[in-house]
Structure 1
Amino acid sequence: MEDQSGKTKVLTPLQAKRKAESYCAYQERAQQEVRDKLYSWGLHSNDVEQIISDLISDNFLNEERFAKAFVLGKFRMKGWGKIKIVQHLKAKRISKPLIQIALREIDLDDYEEKLSELISKKIKVDPSSLTLKEKAKLIRYLQSKGYENDLIFSKIKQ
């Protein structure tokens, strides 16, 4: 944060806590995102960990709630598959058990339906009539969206 003179302004722990509460209230956040933000405000390690602890006990910060919201948001809005979602959650330092819990939020039928939608959006013809080059391009696209190979291949064969 900078003040009018362009110098970095360091927040007091109380100011930072209030600001972090607003930051968390605006949308679900991962602990690591909040931790990074607190450090960027010039706080020291002890203060950062105390504020994180306070945010958790005041229910502003909840990793499971964040992970579930992230999974459903990326799946519904961006059409991401589980592989891509997991990679992004790991980058936010969400634990494996929490990732597994959050992934259960995705209904299997909706998941397969979303994959079918992506295929029909990408190609306007029957997948079986695609050339090898076109199929490869479609597969790469679906992989980049984070879908599993076995699911991609079985959908294209249908």
Structure 2
Amino acid sequence: MTNKEALLKLEHFCAYQERCHDEVVNKLYSLKMTPDEIDAIVVQLIESNFLNESRFACSFARGKHRIKHWGRIRITNELKMRHISPFNITLALKEISSEEYETTFEQLSEKCWNGLQEKNILKKRKKFCDYMLRRGYESFLVYDKVTVLEKEFN
């Protein structure tokens, strides 16, 4: 594959949805490009604004929070896994307003607690906490919420 063909293919790849640098580099390696060719293509994509790590991080954070209802911890870890800079991670987390975050947390926690069929309160508490922590919400929020929900349950 020539550089021009690869560039066109990657422009389409990046235009379809926001991509991080890792995804683009992996795609280029799968196309059997050499490291020098990869560097040249990545530079061209950045210059033509097809590839923008800040834009990707912000879009990722907004989407994962609004659609999958992930918390800040999970979003941060996922962005770190994609080698996004700490500056861009901070920028991305600012995309989620504290009101929106609290509302999502409240709705998700109520839905989870009410959806658990467990009769044993200790098991129900553990399942709830595990679920909410896996979603990436801060432990102090989860444990405060579970104590409030337990009081309502009793």
Indicate whether the TM-score tops 0.5: yes
Q: 1:145 aligns with which of 132, 135, 138?
A: 135
Q: What are the ranges of 5 or more consecutive residues in structure 2 without an aligned counterpart? A: 149-154
Q: Deviations over 1:73-95 (max 9, x none)?
A: 00000001111111111111101
SS at match of 1:65: helix
Shift of 1:36: 0.7
Tell whether 2:6 aligns with 1:20: no
> TM-score normalised to the size of structure 1?
0.87
Distance in 2 of aligned mates of 1:123 and 1:154? 13
Distance 2:32 2:123 in 1: 53
Report the alpha carbon displacement of residue 46 of structure 1 after superposing the two structures with TM.
0.6
Q: How does 1:45-124 map to 2 (within 5 A)?
A: 45-124=35-114
Q: TM-score if structure 2 supplies the norm length? A: 0.89
Q: Structure 1: 5+ residue runs without aligned partners?
A: 1-10
Task: Report the Cα distance in structure 2 between the residues aligned to 1:94 and 1:124, rounded to whole angstroms.
Answer: 36
Residue 32 of structure 1: CA displacement? 0.8
Report Cα offsets for 1:103-124 as digits up to 9, x if no partner: 0101111111111111111122
Percent same amino acid at aligned positions? 40
Matched residue SS, 1:78: coil
The count of aligned residue pairs is 145
